[in-house]
Structure 1
Amino acid sequence: MRLATWNVNSIKVRLPHLLQWLAAQDAMKAPIDALCLQELKLTEDKFPFAELEAAGYYSLVAGQKTYNGVAILLRKASLAAIAQDVNTAFLSPIKNNPKFADEQQRLLAATVAFNGRAPIRIISAYFPNGQAPGTEKFAYKLDWLAGLHDWLSEEMEEHSRIALLGDYNIAPEDQDVHDPKAWEGQNLVSQDERDAFSGLIEMGFYDSYRLFEQAPKSFSWWDYRMMGFRRNAGVRIDHILLSEALKNDCIASSIDKTPRAWEQPSDHAPVITTLS
Protein backbone atom coordinates (compact mmCIF):
# COMPACT_ATOMS: atom_id res chain seq x y z
CA MET A 1 0.00 0.00 0.00
CA ARG A 2 1.31 3.44 -0.93
CA LEU A 3 0.64 6.68 0.94
CA ALA A 4 1.71 10.03 -0.47
CA THR A 5 1.65 13.75 0.28
CA TRP A 6 1.89 16.67 -2.12
CA ASN A 7 1.55 20.41 -1.67
CA VAL A 8 0.03 21.24 -5.06
CA ASN A 9 0.10 25.02 -4.55
CA SER A 10 -3.38 25.55 -6.12
CA ILE A 11 -5.28 22.49 -7.25
CA LYS A 12 -7.07 24.58 -9.89
CA VAL A 13 -3.74 25.26 -11.60
CA ARG A 14 -2.17 21.88 -10.89
CA LEU A 15 -5.11 19.53 -11.57
CA PRO A 16 -3.67 18.34 -14.92
CA HIS A 17 -0.39 17.53 -13.17
CA LEU A 18 -2.21 15.73 -10.38
CA LEU A 19 -4.18 13.56 -12.80
CA GLN A 20 -1.08 12.91 -14.92
CA TRP A 21 0.95 11.87 -11.89
CA LEU A 22 -1.75 9.55 -10.52
CA ALA A 23 -2.13 7.93 -13.94
CA ALA A 24 1.64 7.44 -14.18
CA GLN A 25 1.66 5.59 -10.85
CA ASP A 26 -1.13 3.33 -12.12
CA ALA A 27 0.80 2.69 -15.33
CA MET A 28 3.79 1.56 -13.26
CA LYS A 29 1.47 -0.80 -11.37
CA ALA A 30 2.23 1.12 -8.19
CA PRO A 31 -0.99 3.07 -7.57
CA ILE A 32 -1.31 5.59 -4.78
CA ASP A 33 -3.89 4.35 -2.27
CA ALA A 34 -4.12 7.56 -0.24
CA LEU A 35 -2.83 10.99 -1.26
CA CYS A 36 -2.84 13.97 1.07
CA LEU A 37 -2.90 17.37 -0.61
CA GLN A 38 -2.12 20.81 0.77
CA GLU A 39 -2.63 24.40 -0.41
CA LEU A 40 -5.76 23.73 -2.39
CA LYS A 41 -6.51 27.47 -2.44
CA LEU A 42 -10.23 27.03 -3.08
CA THR A 43 -13.46 26.21 -1.28
CA GLU A 44 -15.13 22.79 -1.33
CA ASP A 45 -17.75 23.86 -3.88
CA LYS A 46 -15.00 24.50 -6.43
CA PHE A 47 -13.05 21.31 -5.75
CA PRO A 48 -12.71 18.95 -8.77
CA PHE A 49 -14.60 16.03 -7.22
CA ALA A 50 -15.88 14.75 -10.57
CA GLU A 51 -12.49 14.72 -12.28
CA LEU A 52 -10.91 12.82 -9.41
CA GLU A 53 -13.87 10.46 -9.19
CA ALA A 54 -13.33 9.66 -12.86
CA ALA A 55 -9.67 9.00 -12.08
CA GLY A 56 -10.72 6.49 -9.42
CA TYR A 57 -10.48 8.57 -6.26
CA TYR A 58 -12.89 9.49 -3.48
CA SER A 59 -12.11 12.95 -2.05
CA LEU A 60 -12.35 14.35 1.46
CA VAL A 61 -11.85 18.12 1.47
CA ALA A 62 -11.46 21.02 3.88
CA GLY A 63 -11.17 24.04 1.60
CA GLN A 64 -10.59 27.74 2.02
CA LYS A 65 -10.82 30.60 -0.45
CA THR A 66 -7.46 31.75 -1.86
CA TYR A 67 -5.34 30.26 0.94
CA ASN A 68 -4.61 26.96 2.69
CA GLY A 69 -7.00 24.03 2.24
CA VAL A 70 -6.26 20.30 2.60
CA ALA A 71 -7.63 17.09 1.14
CA ILE A 72 -7.32 13.32 1.36
CA LEU A 73 -7.78 11.36 -1.87
CA LEU A 74 -8.61 7.68 -1.43
CA ARG A 75 -8.34 5.13 -4.23
CA LYS A 76 -11.76 3.57 -4.53
CA ALA A 77 -10.40 0.20 -5.65
CA SER A 78 -8.40 -0.04 -2.41
CA LEU A 79 -11.16 0.94 0.00
CA ALA A 80 -12.92 -1.61 2.14
CA ALA A 81 -14.96 1.13 3.80
CA ILE A 82 -15.54 4.82 3.21
CA ALA A 83 -13.53 7.05 5.50
CA GLN A 84 -15.19 7.63 8.83
CA ASP A 85 -14.70 9.92 11.81
CA VAL A 86 -13.67 12.79 9.56
CA ASN A 87 -12.31 15.71 11.54
CA THR A 88 -11.48 19.18 10.29
CA ALA A 89 -11.62 20.95 13.65
CA PHE A 90 -8.25 21.71 15.14
CA LEU A 91 -8.06 23.60 18.41
CA SER A 92 -4.89 25.63 18.88
CA PRO A 93 -3.73 27.54 21.99
CA ILE A 94 -3.69 30.87 20.14
CA LYS A 95 -4.38 34.07 22.06
CA ASN A 96 -3.70 32.20 25.30
CA ASN A 97 -6.99 30.34 24.91
CA PRO A 98 -6.49 26.55 24.97
CA LYS A 99 -9.76 26.06 23.07
CA PHE A 100 -9.38 28.76 20.44
CA ALA A 101 -10.56 27.43 17.08
CA ASP A 102 -8.13 28.05 14.22
CA GLU A 103 -10.16 29.39 11.30
CA GLN A 104 -7.51 28.44 8.76
CA GLN A 105 -8.14 25.12 7.05
CA ARG A 106 -4.88 23.32 7.72
CA LEU A 107 -5.88 19.92 9.02
CA LEU A 108 -8.04 17.03 7.88
CA ALA A 109 -8.14 13.62 9.57
CA ALA A 110 -10.05 10.46 8.75
CA THR A 111 -10.04 6.83 9.79
CA VAL A 112 -9.80 4.67 6.69
CA ALA A 113 -10.21 0.93 6.18
CA PHE A 114 -8.34 -0.42 3.16
CA ASN A 115 -8.82 -3.89 1.69
CA GLY A 116 -7.44 -6.56 4.00
CA ARG A 117 -5.99 -4.08 6.49
CA ALA A 118 -6.71 -2.76 9.93
CA PRO A 119 -7.99 0.84 9.87
CA ILE A 120 -5.46 3.66 9.54
CA ARG A 121 -5.84 7.17 10.91
CA ILE A 122 -4.70 9.42 8.05
CA ILE A 123 -3.98 13.09 8.70
CA SER A 124 -3.33 15.67 5.98
CA ALA A 125 -1.68 18.75 7.47
CA TYR A 126 -0.48 22.07 6.15
CA PHE A 127 1.74 23.56 8.83
CA PRO A 128 2.00 27.38 8.95
CA ASN A 129 4.96 28.85 7.08
CA GLY A 130 5.94 31.27 9.84
CA GLN A 131 7.42 34.00 7.60
CA ALA A 132 10.41 34.76 9.85
CA PRO A 133 11.45 34.36 13.50
CA GLY A 134 10.24 37.26 15.61
CA THR A 135 7.13 37.96 13.54
CA GLU A 136 3.47 37.49 14.49
CA LYS A 137 3.18 34.74 11.87
CA PHE A 138 6.09 32.90 13.46
CA ALA A 139 4.46 33.14 16.89
CA TYR A 140 1.28 31.74 15.33
CA LYS A 141 3.30 28.87 13.87
CA LEU A 142 4.76 27.96 17.25
CA ASP A 143 1.32 28.16 18.88
CA TRP A 144 -0.10 25.96 16.12
CA LEU A 145 2.68 23.42 16.60
CA ALA A 146 2.03 23.31 20.34
CA GLY A 147 -1.67 22.78 19.68
CA LEU A 148 -0.89 20.03 17.17
CA HIS A 149 1.25 18.25 19.75
CA ASP A 150 -1.59 18.30 22.27
CA TRP A 151 -4.16 17.18 19.71
CA LEU A 152 -1.96 14.34 18.49
CA SER A 153 -1.50 13.15 22.07
CA GLU A 154 -5.25 12.63 22.22
CA GLU A 155 -5.28 10.99 18.80
CA MET A 156 -2.59 8.52 19.85
CA GLU A 157 -4.70 7.45 22.81
CA GLU A 158 -7.47 6.42 20.39
CA HIS A 159 -5.46 5.20 17.39
CA SER A 160 -2.31 3.09 17.21
CA ARG A 161 -2.00 3.23 13.41
CA ILE A 162 -1.48 6.90 12.50
CA ALA A 163 0.11 8.50 9.44
CA LEU A 164 0.75 12.25 9.62
CA LEU A 165 1.37 13.50 6.09
CA GLY A 166 1.90 17.00 4.84
CA ASP A 167 3.87 20.13 4.25
CA TYR A 168 5.46 20.71 7.64
CA ASN A 169 7.38 23.84 6.65
CA ILE A 170 10.23 22.49 8.79
CA ALA A 171 13.56 21.09 7.62
CA PRO A 172 14.42 18.90 10.63
CA GLU A 173 18.20 18.61 10.15
CA ASP A 174 21.07 20.27 8.31
CA GLN A 175 21.11 17.38 5.83
CA ASP A 176 17.63 18.52 4.79
CA VAL A 177 18.90 21.92 3.59
CA HIS A 178 21.01 22.61 0.49
CA ASP A 179 23.16 25.23 2.28
CA PRO A 180 22.83 24.95 6.08
CA LYS A 181 25.17 27.86 6.74
CA ALA A 182 23.20 30.23 4.52
CA TRP A 183 19.93 29.11 6.13
CA GLU A 184 21.16 29.17 9.71
CA GLY A 185 18.60 30.73 12.09
CA GLN A 186 16.07 31.39 9.34
CA ASN A 187 12.46 30.34 9.02
CA LEU A 188 11.97 26.58 8.36
CA VAL A 189 15.25 25.68 10.09
CA SER A 190 15.15 27.64 13.37
CA GLN A 191 15.83 25.77 16.58
CA ASP A 192 12.28 26.39 17.82
CA GLU A 193 10.82 24.72 14.72
CA ARG A 194 13.25 21.84 14.83
CA ASP A 195 12.50 21.32 18.52
CA ALA A 196 8.79 21.09 17.65
CA PHE A 197 9.55 18.47 15.00
CA SER A 198 11.69 16.55 17.50
CA GLY A 199 8.75 16.72 19.89
CA LEU A 200 6.68 14.75 17.40
CA ILE A 201 9.41 12.13 17.17
CA GLU A 202 9.59 11.93 20.95
CA MET A 203 5.84 11.30 21.04
CA GLY A 204 6.42 8.06 19.17
CA PHE A 205 6.37 9.06 15.49
CA TYR A 206 9.01 8.06 12.95
CA ASP A 207 10.21 10.01 9.92
CA SER A 208 9.55 7.39 7.24
CA TYR A 209 12.03 8.94 4.82
CA ARG A 210 14.88 8.53 7.28
CA LEU A 211 14.10 4.89 7.94
CA PHE A 212 16.08 4.15 4.78
CA GLU A 213 19.39 5.19 3.28
CA GLN A 214 18.76 8.14 0.97
CA ALA A 215 20.84 10.00 -1.57
CA PRO A 216 22.46 13.17 -0.21
CA LYS A 217 20.92 16.52 -1.15
CA SER A 218 17.43 15.05 -1.38
CA PHE A 219 14.76 17.75 -1.10
CA SER A 220 11.00 18.21 -1.58
CA TRP A 221 10.75 21.99 -2.15
CA TRP A 222 12.66 24.36 -4.39
CA ASP A 223 12.11 28.11 -4.72
CA TYR A 224 10.75 29.26 -8.07
CA ARG A 225 13.32 32.06 -8.03
CA MET A 226 16.99 31.96 -8.99
CA MET A 227 16.69 28.58 -10.75
CA GLY A 228 16.27 26.83 -7.42
CA PHE A 229 15.23 23.50 -8.89
CA ARG A 230 17.86 23.51 -11.63
CA ARG A 231 20.57 24.17 -9.02
CA ASN A 232 18.97 21.71 -6.55
CA ALA A 233 18.89 24.55 -4.03
CA GLY A 234 16.09 22.99 -2.03
CA VAL A 235 14.93 21.90 1.40
CA ARG A 236 13.10 18.81 2.66
CA ILE A 237 9.98 20.14 4.36
CA ASP A 238 7.33 17.62 3.22
CA HIS A 239 7.15 14.61 5.49
CA ILE A 240 5.29 11.41 6.30
CA LEU A 241 5.53 10.51 9.98
CA LEU A 242 4.31 7.09 11.07
CA SER A 243 3.32 5.74 14.46
CA GLU A 244 5.27 2.70 15.61
CA ALA A 245 2.59 0.25 14.47
CA LEU A 246 2.86 1.56 10.89
CA LYS A 247 6.61 2.09 11.03
CA ASN A 248 7.03 -1.66 11.44
CA ASP A 249 5.22 -2.16 8.10
CA CYS A 250 7.16 0.52 6.20
CA ILE A 251 9.31 -0.92 3.40
CA ALA A 252 10.18 2.16 1.31
CA SER A 253 10.03 5.95 1.23
CA SER A 254 10.96 8.33 -1.58
CA ILE A 255 10.59 11.77 -3.12
CA ASP A 256 9.38 11.91 -6.72
CA LYS A 257 10.99 14.97 -8.33
CA THR A 258 9.47 14.24 -11.74
CA PRO A 259 6.47 16.63 -11.54
CA ARG A 260 8.71 19.49 -10.36
CA ALA A 261 10.35 19.48 -13.80
CA TRP A 262 7.03 19.83 -15.66
CA GLU A 263 5.86 23.14 -17.11
CA GLN A 264 4.25 25.46 -14.53
CA PRO A 265 4.80 23.03 -11.63
CA SER A 266 4.09 23.21 -7.95
CA ASP A 267 7.20 24.22 -6.05
CA HIS A 268 6.85 20.98 -4.04
CA ALA A 269 7.37 17.37 -5.09
CA PRO A 270 5.32 14.37 -3.93
CA VAL A 271 6.65 12.22 -1.09
CA ILE A 272 5.68 8.55 -1.04
CA THR A 273 5.80 5.86 1.63
CA THR A 274 5.11 2.18 0.97
CA LEU A 275 3.69 -0.17 3.60
CA SER A 276 3.98 -3.95 3.24
Structure 2
Amino acid sequence: MRIATWNVNSVKARLPNVTGWLREAKPDVCVLQEIKCQDPDFPRLEFESLGYHVTSHGQKSYNGVAFLSLTKPDDVRIRLAGDDTDEQSRYIEGDVGGVTICGLYLPNGNPRPGEKYDYKLRWMERLRQRAIALLATGAPFMMTGDFNICPADADVYDPAGWAEDALCAPDSRRAWRALCNLGLTEAWRALHPREVEYSFWDYQAGAWPRNNGLRIDHFLLSPALADRLLSCEIDRGPRGQEKASDHTPVICEIA
Protein backbone atom coordinates (compact mmCIF):
# COMPACT_ATOMS: atom_id res chain seq x y z
CA MET A 1 0.00 0.00 0.00
CA ARG A 2 1.31 3.42 -1.02
CA ILE A 3 0.24 6.40 1.10
CA ALA A 4 0.99 9.99 0.18
CA THR A 5 0.81 13.21 2.13
CA TRP A 6 0.73 16.64 0.53
CA ASN A 7 0.07 20.16 1.77
CA VAL A 8 -1.44 21.57 -1.41
CA ASN A 9 -1.84 25.19 -0.25
CA SER A 10 -5.37 25.56 -1.71
CA VAL A 11 -6.81 22.55 -3.49
CA LYS A 12 -8.75 24.67 -5.98
CA ALA A 13 -5.75 26.80 -6.90
CA ARG A 14 -3.55 23.70 -7.41
CA LEU A 15 -6.20 21.35 -8.80
CA PRO A 16 -4.50 20.59 -12.16
CA ASN A 17 -1.20 19.97 -10.34
CA VAL A 18 -2.78 17.65 -7.79
CA THR A 19 -4.93 15.62 -10.18
CA GLY A 20 -2.05 15.35 -12.64
CA TRP A 21 0.25 14.01 -9.97
CA LEU A 22 -2.35 11.53 -8.73
CA ARG A 23 -2.80 10.18 -12.27
CA GLU A 24 0.93 9.48 -12.49
CA ALA A 25 1.78 8.44 -8.93
CA LYS A 26 -1.43 6.50 -8.24
CA PRO A 27 -1.13 6.30 -4.43
CA ASP A 28 -3.66 4.04 -2.72
CA VAL A 29 -4.31 6.78 -0.17
CA CYS A 30 -3.52 10.48 -0.27
CA VAL A 31 -4.08 12.85 2.63
CA LEU A 32 -4.15 16.55 1.78
CA GLN A 33 -3.59 19.53 4.03
CA GLU A 34 -4.38 23.23 3.75
CA ILE A 35 -7.19 22.67 1.27
CA LYS A 36 -8.52 26.15 2.14
CA CYS A 37 -12.15 25.56 1.26
CA GLN A 38 -15.38 24.52 2.90
CA ASP A 39 -16.71 21.02 2.27
CA PRO A 40 -19.43 22.01 -0.26
CA ASP A 41 -16.73 23.73 -2.35
CA PHE A 42 -14.25 20.85 -2.35
CA PRO A 43 -13.75 19.60 -5.96
CA ARG A 44 -14.70 16.03 -5.09
CA LEU A 45 -15.93 15.10 -8.58
CA GLU A 46 -12.48 15.64 -10.05
CA PHE A 47 -10.99 13.21 -7.54
CA GLU A 48 -13.83 10.74 -7.78
CA SER A 49 -13.28 10.61 -11.55
CA LEU A 50 -9.79 9.27 -10.74
CA GLY A 51 -11.31 6.49 -8.65
CA TYR A 52 -10.88 8.02 -5.20
CA HIS A 53 -13.35 7.95 -2.34
CA VAL A 54 -13.30 11.47 -0.90
CA THR A 55 -13.86 12.89 2.57
CA SER A 56 -12.98 16.50 3.33
CA HIS A 57 -12.93 18.44 6.57
CA GLY A 58 -12.73 22.00 5.40
CA GLN A 59 -12.74 25.55 6.68
CA LYS A 60 -13.30 28.78 4.78
CA SER A 61 -10.04 30.27 3.46
CA TYR A 62 -7.78 28.52 5.98
CA ASN A 63 -6.54 25.10 7.07
CA GLY A 64 -8.61 22.08 6.03
CA VAL A 65 -7.71 18.43 5.42
CA ALA A 66 -8.96 15.73 3.06
CA PHE A 67 -8.75 11.94 2.80
CA LEU A 68 -8.60 10.29 -0.63
CA SER A 69 -8.61 6.49 -0.92
CA LEU A 70 -8.93 4.10 -3.86
CA THR A 71 -10.54 1.62 -1.46
CA LYS A 72 -13.52 2.89 0.47
CA PRO A 73 -12.37 3.43 4.06
CA ASP A 74 -14.09 1.39 6.76
CA ASP A 75 -14.53 4.49 8.88
CA VAL A 76 -13.55 8.15 8.63
CA ARG A 77 -13.34 10.37 11.69
CA ILE A 78 -12.68 14.09 11.91
CA ARG A 79 -11.39 16.37 14.65
CA LEU A 80 -8.70 15.65 17.18
CA ALA A 81 -10.06 14.81 20.62
CA GLY A 82 -9.15 16.78 23.70
CA ASP A 83 -10.58 20.26 23.11
CA ASP A 84 -14.25 20.70 22.22
CA THR A 85 -13.70 24.42 21.65
CA ASP A 86 -11.16 23.92 18.86
CA GLU A 87 -12.92 24.82 15.60
CA GLN A 88 -9.89 24.64 13.30
CA SER A 89 -10.04 21.90 10.64
CA ARG A 90 -6.73 20.12 11.08
CA TYR A 91 -7.32 16.39 11.57
CA ILE A 92 -8.89 13.45 9.76
CA GLU A 93 -8.38 9.69 10.05
CA GLY A 94 -9.65 6.63 8.28
CA ASP A 95 -9.13 2.85 8.21
CA VAL A 96 -7.86 1.33 4.97
CA GLY A 97 -6.67 -2.26 4.57
CA GLY A 98 -6.60 -2.77 8.32
CA VAL A 99 -4.42 0.31 8.88
CA THR A 100 -5.58 3.48 10.63
CA ILE A 101 -4.24 6.50 8.73
CA CYS A 102 -4.29 9.79 10.63
CA GLY A 103 -3.92 12.85 8.42
CA LEU A 104 -3.00 16.08 10.17
CA TYR A 105 -2.09 19.70 9.65
CA LEU A 106 -0.28 20.68 12.82
CA PRO A 107 -0.38 24.39 13.78
CA ASN A 108 2.54 26.53 12.67
CA GLY A 109 2.83 28.27 16.05
CA ASN A 110 4.34 31.57 14.99
CA PRO A 111 4.77 34.15 16.34
CA ARG A 112 6.54 32.70 19.32
CA PRO A 113 5.98 33.25 22.20
CA GLY A 114 2.26 33.86 22.13
CA GLU A 115 -1.17 32.23 21.96
CA LYS A 116 -0.49 30.63 18.57
CA TYR A 117 2.56 28.88 19.97
CA ASP A 118 0.70 27.80 23.08
CA TYR A 119 -2.03 26.37 20.83
CA LYS A 120 0.59 24.44 18.84
CA LEU A 121 2.00 22.81 21.98
CA ARG A 122 -1.48 21.98 23.31
CA TRP A 123 -2.37 20.46 19.92
CA MET A 124 0.77 18.33 19.99
CA GLU A 125 -0.12 17.01 23.42
CA ARG A 126 -3.60 16.11 22.17
CA LEU A 127 -1.95 14.29 19.26
CA ARG A 128 0.28 12.41 21.69
CA GLN A 129 -2.78 11.35 23.65
CA ARG A 130 -4.40 10.10 20.45
CA ALA A 131 -1.28 8.07 19.70
CA ILE A 132 -1.39 6.57 23.19
CA ALA A 133 -5.01 5.55 22.65
CA LEU A 134 -4.21 3.97 19.28
CA LEU A 135 -1.17 2.17 20.65
CA ALA A 136 -3.35 0.63 23.35
CA THR A 137 -5.37 -1.15 20.66
CA GLY A 138 -2.30 -2.87 19.22
CA ALA A 139 -3.59 -2.22 15.70
CA PRO A 140 -1.26 -0.76 13.03
CA PHE A 141 -1.53 2.98 12.45
CA MET A 142 0.35 5.94 11.03
CA MET A 143 0.24 9.66 11.64
CA THR A 144 1.12 11.70 8.58
CA GLY A 145 0.87 15.21 7.24
CA ASP A 146 2.36 18.65 7.64
CA PHE A 147 3.71 18.57 11.18
CA ASN A 148 5.26 22.06 10.97
CA ILE A 149 8.24 20.62 12.83
CA CYS A 150 11.87 20.31 11.71
CA PRO A 151 12.91 17.40 13.95
CA ALA A 152 16.65 18.19 13.81
CA ASP A 153 19.09 20.75 12.43
CA ALA A 154 19.64 18.50 9.40
CA ASP A 155 16.03 19.20 8.43
CA VAL A 156 16.44 22.97 7.97
CA TYR A 157 18.74 24.79 5.56
CA ASP A 158 19.82 27.41 8.13
CA PRO A 159 19.70 25.94 11.66
CA ALA A 160 21.06 29.05 13.38
CA GLY A 161 18.67 31.38 11.59
CA TRP A 162 15.66 29.20 12.43
CA ALA A 163 16.64 28.24 15.99
CA GLU A 164 13.94 30.35 17.65
CA ASP A 165 11.22 29.78 15.07
CA ALA A 166 8.22 27.73 16.23
CA LEU A 167 9.14 24.98 13.74
CA CYS A 168 12.55 24.43 15.33
CA ALA A 169 12.28 25.81 18.87
CA PRO A 170 13.33 23.57 21.77
CA ASP A 171 9.79 23.13 23.13
CA SER A 172 8.53 22.13 19.68
CA ARG A 173 11.24 19.53 19.25
CA ARG A 174 10.70 18.32 22.80
CA ALA A 175 7.01 17.74 22.01
CA TRP A 176 8.01 15.93 18.80
CA ARG A 177 10.37 13.64 20.73
CA ALA A 178 7.67 12.96 23.33
CA LEU A 179 5.47 11.73 20.49
CA CYS A 180 8.18 9.63 18.85
CA ASN A 181 9.35 8.21 22.17
CA LEU A 182 6.02 6.42 22.57
CA GLY A 183 7.57 3.94 20.14
CA LEU A 184 6.75 5.53 16.81
CA THR A 185 9.15 5.34 13.85
CA GLU A 186 9.75 8.38 11.65
CA ALA A 187 9.69 6.62 8.29
CA TRP A 188 11.81 8.87 6.06
CA ARG A 189 14.62 9.38 8.56
CA ALA A 190 14.67 5.67 9.44
CA LEU A 191 15.47 4.88 5.81
CA HIS A 192 17.66 7.93 5.11
CA PRO A 193 19.69 8.37 8.32
CA ARG A 194 22.31 10.77 6.91
CA GLU A 195 20.57 12.30 3.90
CA VAL A 196 19.59 15.96 3.71
CA GLU A 197 16.33 16.58 1.85
CA TYR A 198 13.42 18.96 2.21
CA SER A 199 9.66 18.89 1.60
CA PHE A 200 8.90 22.65 1.79
CA TRP A 201 10.43 25.69 0.09
CA ASP A 202 9.02 29.15 0.73
CA TYR A 203 7.85 31.27 -2.19
CA GLN A 204 10.06 34.15 -1.04
CA ALA A 205 13.76 34.95 -1.46
CA GLY A 206 14.40 32.35 -4.16
CA ALA A 207 14.09 29.51 -1.68
CA TRP A 208 13.25 26.86 -4.29
CA PRO A 209 16.07 27.50 -6.80
CA ARG A 210 18.53 27.93 -3.93
CA ASN A 211 17.26 24.78 -2.19
CA ASN A 212 16.63 26.71 1.02
CA GLY A 213 14.10 24.26 2.37
CA LEU A 214 12.64 22.59 5.42
CA ARG A 215 11.61 19.00 6.03
CA ILE A 216 8.30 19.32 7.88
CA ASP A 217 6.06 16.69 6.21
CA HIS A 218 6.40 13.35 7.98
CA PHE A 219 5.16 9.81 8.52
CA LEU A 220 5.13 8.34 12.04
CA LEU A 221 4.50 4.59 12.13
CA SER A 222 3.32 2.46 15.02
CA PRO A 223 5.48 -0.55 15.96
CA ALA A 224 3.02 -2.89 14.27
CA LEU A 225 3.41 -0.92 11.04
CA ALA A 226 7.12 -0.05 11.18
CA ASP A 227 8.00 -3.70 10.57
CA ARG A 228 6.14 -3.42 7.25
CA LEU A 229 7.94 -0.26 6.03
CA LEU A 230 9.30 -0.70 2.49
CA SER A 231 10.12 2.83 1.36
CA CYS A 232 9.57 6.51 2.05
CA GLU A 233 10.49 9.12 -0.56
CA ILE A 234 10.10 12.84 -1.16
CA ASP A 235 8.94 13.64 -4.70
CA ARG A 236 10.45 17.03 -5.58
CA GLY A 237 8.86 17.10 -9.04
CA PRO A 238 5.60 18.90 -8.23
CA ARG A 239 7.41 21.75 -6.47
CA GLY A 240 9.10 22.72 -9.75
CA GLN A 241 5.86 23.07 -11.69
CA GLU A 242 4.00 26.25 -12.55
CA LYS A 243 1.61 27.39 -9.81
CA ALA A 244 3.13 24.84 -7.45
CA SER A 245 2.34 24.44 -3.79
CA ASP A 246 5.22 25.42 -1.51
CA HIS A 247 5.20 21.79 -0.30
CA THR A 248 5.84 18.65 -2.32
CA PRO A 249 4.40 15.14 -1.81
CA VAL A 250 5.96 12.52 0.44
CA ILE A 251 5.11 8.87 -0.27
CA CYS A 252 5.38 5.94 2.12
CA GLU A 253 5.04 2.31 1.01
CA ILE A 254 4.19 -0.48 3.42
CA ALA A 255 3.85 -4.22 2.84
Give the TM bin, normalised by the shorter chain.
Answer: over 0.9
1:95-139, Cα deviation, whole Å (9 max, x unpaired): xxxx433110100011122xxxxx000111000010132111011
Match of 2:45 in 1: 50
Give, as a single letter, the amino acid of the residue that structure 2 aligns with 1:58. Answer: H
- By percentage of residues, which structure has more helix? 1
Equivalents in 2 of 1:145, 1:9: separation in Å?
22
Match of 2:204 in 1: 225
Indicate conservation of the 8 Å contact 1:91/1:101, yes or no: no
Match of 2:144 in 1: 165
Equivalents in 2 of 1:274, 1:83: separation in Å?
18
**Residues 1:261 and 2:251 are matched in the alignment:** no
Q: Tell me, which stretches of 5 or more residues in structure 2 are unaligned?
A: none
Match of 1:91 in 2: 81
- 1:160 is displaced (CA, Å) by 2.0
Indicate conservation of the 8 Å contact 2:110/2:165, yes or no: no
1:165-190, Cα deviation, whole Å (9 max, x unpaired): 10000000011011111211222000
- 1:89 is displaced (CA, Å) by 2.7
Sequence identity (%): 39
Equivalents in 1 of 2:217, 2:79: separation in Å?
22
Equivalents in 2 of 1:161, 1:191: separation in Å?
30
Give, as a single letter, the amino acid of the residue that structure 1 aligns with 2:47. Answer: L
Match of 1:175 in 2: 154
Query: 1:246 is paired with a residue of what secondary structure?
Result: helix
Match of 1:149 in 2: 128
Q: Which moved more, 1:55-64 or 1:162-171?
A: 55-64
Give matches, 1:170-249, under 5 Å.
170-213=149-192, 216-249=195-228
Query: 1:169 is paired with a residue of what secondary structure?
Result: coil
Equivalents in 2 of 1:90, 1:223: separation in Å?
28
Give, as a single letter, the amino acid of the residue that structure 2 aligns with 1:212. Answer: L
Match of 2:18 in 1: 18
**Alignment RMSD:** 1.3
Query: 1:51 is paired with a residue of what secondary structure?
Result: helix
Equivalents in 1 of 2:86, 2:126: separation in Å?
10
Query: 2:167 is paired with a residue of what secondary structure?
Result: coil
Give, as a single letter, the amino acid of the residue that structure 1 aligns with 2:95. Answer: T
Indicate conservation of the 8 Å contact 1:89/1:101, yes or no: no
Q: Tell me, which stretches of 5 or more residues in structure 1 are unaligned?
A: 26-30, 93-98, 114-118
Equivalents in 2 of 1:159, 1:17: separation in Å?
37
Equivalents in 2 of 1:160, 1:205: separation in Å?
13
Query: 2:13 is paired with a residue of what secondary structure?
Result: helix
Equivalents in 1 of 2:219, 2:34: separation in Å?
17
Which one of 23, 31, 34 corresponds to residue 29 of structure 2?
A: 34
Equivalents in 2 of 1:138, 1:230: separation in Å?
30
1:130-173, Cα deviation, whole Å (9 max, x unpaired): 01321110111111111111122112223521011100000000
- 1:87 is displaced (CA, Å) by 1.4
Q: With structure 2 as the length reference, what TM-score do the two structures score?
A: 0.96
